[in-house]
């Protein structure tokens, strides 16, 4: 029996007992979590395909460790322009082990209660006061008289 699960925007083929390195999850080591985004479950000749996910199915996983991937080097250069830029990056990953795959909603792990932080309401804004503008009277243009030649 294997399944295809989705986490961190990627899909993984998992079996019971398999160890994966997935995108970082905000959990501690030795925590057990369930991933409910199951796309496909194959059990022998029986295939169960979700649209997009299988309702009630989940994969129970145990977090082994929080790790970092190997360093990659990003090097940019533009020829004849004296432009060179070197940058490194190490992706953070979570190493997990698959404990169980359930095709139906058979007793999932109890989830911890989420802490909801209430946002403080913004203070009421003062009503805008209309600005009064005064209109200046335009004066008639003075015409200049032609200078008399003497």
Report the C-alpha dihedral over residues 92, 95, 98, 102, rounded to 10 degrees.
-20
Q: What does the pLDDT average to over 7-21?
A: 94
Model pTM greater than 0.75?
no
pLDDT band with cut points at 50, 70 and 90 for residue 124: confident
What is the number of other CB atoms lying within 10 angstroms of the CB of residue 98?
Answer: 21
Confidence grade of residue 120 (pLDDT, cut at 50, 70, 90) = low
Distance CA 138, CA 35 (A): 76
Domain boundaries of the chain, sorted by first residue: 2-102
Residue 146 is predicted with a pLDDT of 66
C-alpha closest to that of 1 among 9, 13, 19? 13
Tens digits of residue pLDDT in 29-76: 999 999 999 999 998 899 998 888 999 999 999 999 999 999 999 999
* Alpha carbons 34 and 60: distance in angstroms, whole number: 4
Instruction: Determine contact, residues 29/62, Cβ cutoff 8 Å.
Output: no
Higher pLDDT, residue 78 or 140: 78
How does residue 105 score in pLDDT terms, banded at 50, 70 and 90? low
Tokens in use for 19?
A: 């160890």
The tokens describing 130, both together, are 């209309």
Pair 38, 58: CB distance under 8 Å: yes
């Amino acid at each position: 029996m294997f399944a295809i699960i989705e986490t961190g925007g990627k899909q993984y083929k998992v079996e019971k007992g398999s160890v994966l390195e997935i995108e970082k999850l905000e959990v501690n080591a030795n925590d057990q979590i369930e991933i409910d985004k199951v796309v496909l479950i194959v059990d022998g000749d029986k295939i169960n395909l979700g649209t997009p996910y299988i309702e009630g199915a989940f994969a129970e996983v145990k977090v082994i460790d929080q790790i970092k991937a190997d360093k990659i080097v990003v090097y940019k250069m533009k020829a004849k322009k004296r432009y060179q830029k070197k940058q490194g990056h190490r992706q953070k990953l979570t190493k997990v082990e698959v404990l169980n795959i359930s095709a139906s909603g058979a007793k999932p792990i109890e989830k911890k209660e989420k802490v909801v932080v209430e946002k403080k309401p913004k203070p009421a804004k003062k009503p805008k006061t209309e600005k009064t503008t005064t209109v200046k009277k335009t004066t008639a243009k003075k015409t200049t008289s032609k200078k008399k030649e003497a």
